């Protein structure tokens, strides 16, 4: 989906362009790799573009609902990412390419929402996913999911140096 920002470039432009874009199922594979996800339930961008402070500006919200692997216990865990932002549109000649408040469309006056969505979503992907902050992970010795209960390995395999400390705190 593309939006034409030409009508909102004039300083006195009063029109507001509302948009709502959700990629087709066939284009979801790209988001699997962007998000390091297992399965995409929904990914979308919505917002409005209008004249603001002499610039065509876009206010947007990006939302993704998906499942991903927990970095500790490897279970498939539901995740959501949602954030809002604002960008002012600049021409290639404005010299504002390095300013993160500005966005320069590849084609003048045309914003490709798919590209916009992938670009800004990829900046918000966390380094890792957890099923819960308290996830205990897997036992490093027997591989048991410690969220389901202890396994008895920890006592036997404990590093002798820590054993000393163990006694120290008794
Ligand atoms: Zn986990
Ligand atoms: Zn174990």
| Domain ranges for the chain | 2-135, 136-170
Q: What confidence tens digit (pLDDT) does each residue in 144-163 have? A: 999 999 998 866 555 555 55
Model pLDDT, residue 105: 87
Ligand 1 mean position, distance from CA 72 (Å)? 5
Taking the centre of ligand 2 as the mean of its atom positions, its distance from the CA of residue 154, in whole angstroms, is 6
Res 155: pLDDT: 60
- Average pLDDT score, the chain: 88
At 79-110, the pLDDT tens digits run 999 999 999 998 877 777 678 899 988 888 89
CA of 137 to the centre of ligand 2 (A): 11
**Residues whose Cβ atom is located within 5 A of ion ligand 2:** 139, 141-142, 144, 151, 153
What six digits make up the tokens of 44?
A: 């979308």
Calculate how far, in angstroms, residue 147's C-alpha sits from the geometric centre of ligand 2: 12
What is the 152 CA–ligand 2 centroid distance (Å)? 6
Is pLDDT at 3 greater than 80 in this prediction? yes
pLDDT tens for 22-71 read 999 888 889 999 999 999 999 999 999 999 988 899 999 999 999 999 99
Q: What is the pLDDT of residue 73?
A: 96
Task: Give the lowest-confidence range in 11-15, 60-64, 114-118.
Answer: 11-15
pTM: 0.83
Nearest CA among 130, 24, 20, 114 for reference residue 77 = 130
Ligand 1 ion: nearby residues, β-carbon < 5 Å: 70, 72-73, 131, 135
């Amino acid at each position: 989906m593309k939006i034409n920002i030409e009508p909102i470039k004039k300083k006195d432009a009063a029109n507001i362009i509302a948009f709502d874009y959700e990629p087709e199922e066939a284009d979801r594979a790209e988001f699997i790799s962007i998000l390091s996800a297992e399965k995409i339930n929904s990914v979308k961008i919505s917002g409005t573009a209008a004249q603001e402070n002499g610039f065509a500006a876009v206010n947007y919200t990006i939302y993704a609902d998906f499942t991903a692997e927990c970095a500790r216990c490897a279970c498939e865990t539901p995740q959501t990412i949602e954030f809002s932002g604002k960008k002012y549109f600049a021409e290639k000649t404005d010299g504002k390419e390095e300013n993160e408040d500005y966005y320069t469309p590849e084609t003048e006056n045309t914003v490709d929402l798919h590209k916009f969505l992938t670009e800004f979503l990829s900046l918000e992907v966390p380094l890792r996913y957890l099923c819960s902050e308290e996830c205990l992970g897997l036992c490093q010795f027997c591989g048991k999911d410690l969220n389901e209960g202890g396994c008895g390995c920890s006592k036997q395999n404990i590093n002798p140096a820590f054993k000393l400390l163990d006694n120290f705190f008794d």
